[in-house]
Structure 1
């Protein structure tokens, strides 16, 4: 009888342990890992989206200079060897963004026009924060023309409208990347920020915590109100839990 009871107790313990292990296996789900083919996918998609990285075609020398600039901003994130590998990957596998294209000069001309006509009265921040459709941008430019006819020729209107509609989001991303370098990477190691993945709510809390810390430590606002929104938008796009970033 004693043997039967002992066997029953041991069987019960075995069943309980088996159930516990099964529950642990269910709860410890492995997060899906995106398989990367190229180094630039992980190294260049943190301060910028890959869409922004490849928005403008460049010659091989221009790509090398571009990667060198990124290395200077965060030397620990991209080593010299990794920089060479990234340039090689882009030049040898992305023919669509390597070379000198006619539309590149058109873009440069439009950018100069934008700087000359728009930033004389408005800060770039105010412009990049605006989220407008092409039609909305056209109305805005026409309104500016009415206020200052001598500053806006009729032929400037479609050029500026196209530039703002097509490049507005990219300008915003560029501004966000600059904030990342000057406000985030200046204090934190790149890997601490660039390897994390969080929801938008968690990124908002992280940036808010940094803001509170700066107020207590430096007695100043580290992120301006518009910068807060811009940097959280970038972090959500490049390092959000459901983003396509790497």
Structure 2
């Protein structure tokens, strides 16, 4: 079996694989300081990327705890601003196959509502995944988030940005991350996506994370805030079921103390 994996699509949008490579390399800059292991980029060109091949193994509780601590270190390497692209990358951004924008915001809430939730909500509404009334409710929640009601003193973290279970691989040395939508964001966002899509040994991942960089009180209650983005993305692409989950998450945000 080849030691590398090639992904190619001649019809890919301009910058598609180059953005993936920029995100992987940016995240990998933290490896020497104990950050999360990132799939190594061998080569990239328009319509093509070549990566190291990850030979799968079963995850273990020990590996999950080690990954949690490493993820905290990656987050701690920081970013220039909320919404910032990988350092040196001035091309487009994507999550999965969908475009998404970068930003340069001092406020997490302003960036998150405007650039991570609302664009995909509009697509989801047009697709019929949420009704007009439901979309108005989600927009109301976005207005609250954009106002800074949920901002805190956390600095921009170096996020993977699409950290669902399928982008968290395991080999015989531990966890390896692939396919990022890397940007500067709130560190709770990556953890919320791991929770949304059922990462193995999630409690061990969190324990390892908190051993390195404890999370702020109430982070579990705030998980629905950080799941609005992935749920909106999925509602835009995969139908009404995710639209229902998006609306439910928005309602749970409204029930948070102080919102």
Structure with more strand by fraction: 2
Larger fraction in helix: 1
Structures share fold, TM-score greater than 0.5: no
TM-score, normalising length from structure 1? Answer: 0.28
> Which protein shows a greater Rg?
1
TM-score normalized with structure 2 length: 0.27
